[in-house]
Structure 1
Amino acid sequence: MNAPLRRVGVVVMILFGLLFANLNWIQAYKADEYRNSDYNGRVQVAEYERKRGNIEVGGTAYAISKETGGKLRFLRTYPKGEVYAHVLGYKPVNLGETGIERTENDFLAGTSDQLIGNRVKDMFTGEETGGGNVLLTLSKRAQETAYRQLTDNQVGASKGAAIAIDPRTGAVQALVSMPSFDPNPLASHDTTAAQTAYNKLDKDPNRPLANRALAETLPPGSTFKIVVAAAALENGIGQQTSIPAGSSYTAPGAGKPIKNAAPSICPEPQVTLREAVTESCNTGFAQLGVRLGADTIKEKARQFGFEQEDLTVGQLGEGGLPVAASRTGDIQNPDGSTDQAALAQSSIGQNNVRMTPLQGALIAASVANGGSQMRPYLVRQLLAPDRTTSYYTAKPRELRRPVSGQVAGDLRDMMLNVVKEGTGRKAAIDGYTVGGKTGTAQSGPDTPDHGWFIGFALDRNGTPVSAVCVELERAGSGGSAEAARIAGRIMAAAIADAGGR
């Protein structure tokens, strides 16, 4: 054989070797990826051969699959659309699923290892048993009240969030983000139409796809004073202890003074801690924070849950909807020393303090529950396709204990006084004892303030039945009072709904 032919033969052998190696690579290592790819049409058809399980609230299915008679046999539909959108999410054909549809996808689709017995049975019967059913903790009344009250708020806010939880268990009673969206077009079998609908939502400057209750952090304003008050109580300051106040306070190094929301608020040189909480005294809490120190404030916030980066809300184990970390932010000068001016602002929930609505609800729940903060969860139970077997039932567990029972009791008394005599009167509920804290937070130099309210409701026996946080973004004047009113309506709905208790 001459040299040119040998070279050609070697090249051909190398090419065959590479082809053989690539074939083995695909079969051994890439088979699952290609088989499960969203672009594999046969996988899509097979996925829609099995009826997807329901997602239910209080005995009613709000994510269901209907037979189409088409190539994709079942269509996912959401009867209440916008009301449950940020909890349920959506299950599209070509896009990635979101919400509970994502976190419980395997169980809903029937492919979970827990449902292997059903799949084995199908091999003998030739049937396609449907997926499992996911039962949520939500209260129908509380959820629908939260959605209605947020979207019809009386201050014209277009963005905001509300979340309510049972302080005793951590079960989420309501979770709403505003603006919301209709998930039905996103689940359409017309993939072009679904992509168009998604693109429109994704480009909307109001970000309707964002879950503001869990993933949005904003300055919490005076609601953060509950954290500072907790630190004060743990450092020798009682409810009746006098603290410096006054109409104005300029922290060391500050360029401008901190003032109260109105001249009538704590103009006296000194007020009690209880009065400072009730009136929401900025000058009192700014000076209190400086007195306690940055490390004390940051540590107490951490004990309540700030800085946690791995919290999720779904089942009580791993997985679930992701929660953004709340932050106390930087309170340091360039040389590492404490920035006193920043500390004063941080102590009234400004500067770089940022909080999710969930964190606000957890603070209120911890106070109501005697200092015990329960882990929040959304999934109450996982049921077999035929509903005869339960594969998971939530067993509530404590997440942390940020304050002692005594400190929680003092905080509870002061928060009750806020609703009885202070800024939170609109949260009151007939027949129940309600405590809370309003918050007004600056959003920028030329934009309206955010309005906040965190609070809880106790029954006649003093048992906590609901804790809530409502946030109205850039609500302006009256925003915190409106947040308090909405919070009261949500908690009243959760109380009235047996499924929410």
Structure 2
Amino acid sequence: MNAPLRRVGVVVMILFGLLFANLNWIQAYKADEYRNSDYNGRVQVAEYKRKRGNIEAGGTAFAVSKETGGRLRFLRTYPGKDKYAHVLGYKPVNIGDTGIERSENDFLAGTSDQLIANRVKDMFTGEETGGGNVLLTLSKRAQDVAYNQLRGNEVGAKRGAAIAVDPRTGAVQSLVSMPSFDPNPLASHDRSAASAAYNELKDDPQRPLANRALAETLPPGSTFKVVVAAAALENGITKETMIPAGSLYTPPTSGSPIKNAAPSICPESQVTLKEAVQESCNTGFAKLGVRLGADKIKEKARQFGFEQEDLTVGQLGKGGHQVAASRTGTISDSNGNPDPAALAQSSIGQRDVRMTPLEGALIAAAVANDGKQMRPYLVKQLLAPDRTTSYYSAQPRELRQPVSSPVAADLREMMQSVVTGGTGRKAAIDGYTVGGKTGTAQSGPNDPDHGWFIGFALDRNGTPVSAVCVMLENAGKGGSTEAARIGGQIMKAAIADGGGR
């Protein structure tokens, strides 16, 4: 055999070797991935052969499957449309699923190991038992109010979020992100139409697909003063301690003065810590933060939940919606050195401080619950297709204890003064003790400020019944006052609905 033919033979042998190796790779390592791919037509037909279970809240189904008579036998529909979209997610034919539809997919589809007895029975009966049902913690009334109040807010904000939790358990009572979207077109069996609907939402500059309650972090403004006040209470300062205030404060390393929202706010040279919280005294908290130091502020924020990167909201400690980490930032200069100016700005919730609405609700919930912060969750129960057997029932768990019971009591008193005589008056609820903290956060030199409110409600026995965070993005003047009003309405609805329990 001449040399050219030998070379061709060697190349052919190498190519056959590579092909053989690739086939073995696919069979040994990639088979399951290809078999279960969303783009595998046979898998899709098999998946839609079985009726998918319901996702329900408060006895009402908000994700159901209806028979079509077509090749894909069942169509996923969402009767609540935009109102529950960011909680439920969606289950499309040809694009990735999201939300509870994704995290509880196996149970809803009937393929979970928990439902193997149903599948074995089907082998003998020839039936296709439907998937299991997922029951959520949501209060239908609170969800309705949160959705309607956000959409109809009185300051014209186009983007925002609201979330409420039960401080005693961590059960999510409402979760709304604005703007929202209708998930029904995304679940269409017309793949071209579903893709077009998805692309339109994905390209929308308002980002309606974004879950702002869990995945958006923005400067929290004065709501962060609750964290700084907690650090102060644990470092020798009481709620009656006089702290430096005044109309202006220029940190040693900055020529940019910090001032209060209005000349009437703490113009005195000193105010009590309680007065500083009630009036939302920027100068007082800026000076207080510098006095405490960056390490104490950052550590207290971490104890409240800042910097946590592995938190999810679905079942307790297992899957669900991924939560973005809230951050305090470096609180230092460009060289990593201590910077009083950065610390002063951070102590009033500005500079690099970023927080999710969920974190805001969890801060308020911990204060209401004697310092104990419960792990948030959305999935209350998993029920068999025939609803006779429960495969999971949530058992509330403590996530952390950021402050002691005495410190929590002092924080409650100070936050209550914000509602009774400060900037949070519109959050008041007749017959309940309400505490809160408003926040106005600068977002850019040419952008309107964000409006925030975090708060809690206690019944006549002092039992916490709801905690909330409302964020109105670029709401401008009056944004925090409107956030407080909406927060009060959401908690009132959750109370009337038994908190969704």
TM-score bracket for the superposition, by shorter chain length: over 0.9
Instruction: Report how far residue 17 of structure 1 moved.
Output: 5.5
Could you tell me how far apart the structure 1 residues matched to 2:219 and 2:392 are?
Answer: 37
Partner of 2:185: 185
Aligned length: 501
- Superposed CA RMSD: 1.6
Instruction: Name the counterpart of 1:302.
Output: 302
Q: Which residue of 2 aligns with 1:149?
A: 149
- Per-residue deviation at 1:27? 2.9
The alignment status of 1:238 with 2:241, answered yes or no, reads no
Shift of 1:180: 0.3
Contact 1:58 1:499 in 2 (8 A): no
Report the secondary structure of 1:189's partner residue: coil
Q: Helix, strand or coil: the match of 1:138?
A: coil
Which deviations, in whole Å up to 9, do the C-alpha atoms of 1:459-494 show, x marking residues without a partner?
000000000000000000100000000000000000
Change (3 A) 1:271 1:385: same
Q: Tell me how far 1:38 sits from its aligned partner.
A: 2.1
Superposition pairs for residues 275-294 of structure 1, below 5 Å? 275-294=275-294
Structure-2 separation of matches of 1:46 and 1:26? 22
In structure 2, the partner of 1:221 is 221
**Alignment partners' CA distance in 1, 2:386 and 2:200:** 39
Q: State the match for 1:33 in structure 2.
A: 33
CA separation of 1:448 and 1:8: change in aligned 2, threshold 3 A: closer
Is contact 2:466–2:499 with CA below 8 Å preserved after alignment? no
Alignment-derived partner of residue 125 in structure 1: 125
- 2:469 paired residue number: 469
State the distance in 2 between where 1:273 and 1:148 align: 36
Q: CA deviation at 1:423?
A: 0.5
Corresponding residue of 2:106: 106
Separation of aligned partners in 1, 2:435 and 2:107: 40
Post-superposition offset of 1:9 = 7.4
Contact 2:172–2:377 (CA under 8 A) maintained in structure 1: yes
The amino acid of 1:341's aligned partner reads A
Q: 1:230 to 1:21 in 2, by over 3 A?
A: closer
Q: Distance in 2 between matches of 1:128 and 1:296?
A: 59
Aligned position for 1:341: 341
**Paired AA for residue 364 in structure 1:** A
Is residue 2:330 matched to residue 1:330? yes
Deviations 1:271-301 (A, max 9, x none): 0001000000001000000100011101100
Matched, 1:76 2:86: no
Tell me the TM-score normalised to structure 1 length.
Answer: 0.97
Residue in structure 1 matched with residue 486 of structure 2 by the alignment: 486
* C-alpha distance in structure 2 between counterparts of 1:451 and 1:281, whole Å: 16
Residues 230 and 407 in structure 2, CA contact (< 8 A), matched pair in contact too? yes
State the AA in 2 paired with 1:162: A
- Which stretch has the larger CA shift, 315-324 or 65-74? 315-324
Residue 6 of structure 1, CA deviation: 8.1
Aligned-residue identity in percent: 83
Report the residue type matching 1:396 in the other structure.
P
Q: Using the alignment, how far apart are the partners of 2:127 and 2:474 within structure 1? A: 54
Distance 1:447 1:126, change over 3 A: same
Aligned to 1:165: 165
- Evaluate the alpha carbon distance shift between residue 155 and residue 127 of structure 1 in structure 2; reply closer, same or farther with a 3 A threshold: same
Match for residue 382 of structure 2?
382
Change (3 A) 1:16 1:167: same
**2: CA distance, partners of 1:338 / 1:12:** 66
**Residues 16-73 of structure 1 deviation map (CA, whole Å, 9 limit, x = unaligned):** 6555544443333332222112222111111100100000001111000000001100
Q: Cα gap change, 1:338/1:13 in structure 2, threshold over 3 Å: closer, same or farther?
A: closer
Q: In the alignment, which residue of structure 2 is the partner of 1:427?
A: 427
Secondary structure, counterpart of 1:28 in structure 2: helix
Separation of aligned partners in 2, 1:413 and 1:267: 23
**TM-score between the two structures when normalised by the length of structure 2:** 0.97
